[in-house]
């Protein structure tokens, strides 16, 4: 299969962080994009669920971002 070159416009800070994460996984950004592209083809769509939250979930997200109804807890409590 032949290869084509493409270009992307992506937030520089996110790209640098992604490259560091991928490096720790033993792959580079191009390899990750190829994996993502292959998964799109294989699943015939995005390889993860994309949903708009319902009204109740959206309300809870908004409140959490505003610090409303958020209790302090430790990670040990979550386990």
Any residues with CB less than 8 A from the CB of 69 and at least 6 apart, and which?
A: 60, 63
Question: pLDDT tens-digit profile of 15-38?
Answer: 999 999 999 999 999 999 999 999
* Whole-number pLDDT of residue 42: 97
Separation of alpha carbons 35 and 26, rounded Å: 13
* Whole-number pLDDT of residue 20: 97
* Whole-number pLDDT of residue 4: 93
pTM of the predicted model, to two decimals?
A: 0.62
């Amino acid at each position: 299969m032949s290869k084509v070159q493409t270009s992307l416009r992506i937030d520089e800070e996110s790209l640098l962080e992604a490259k560091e994460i991928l490096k720790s996984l033993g792959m580079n950004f191009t390899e990750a994009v190829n994996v993502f592209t292959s998964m799109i083809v294989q699943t015939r769509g995005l390889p993860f669920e994309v949903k708009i939250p319902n009204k109740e979930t959206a309300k809870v997200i908004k409140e959490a971002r505003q610090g409303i109804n958020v209790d302090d807890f430790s990670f040990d409590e979550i386990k």
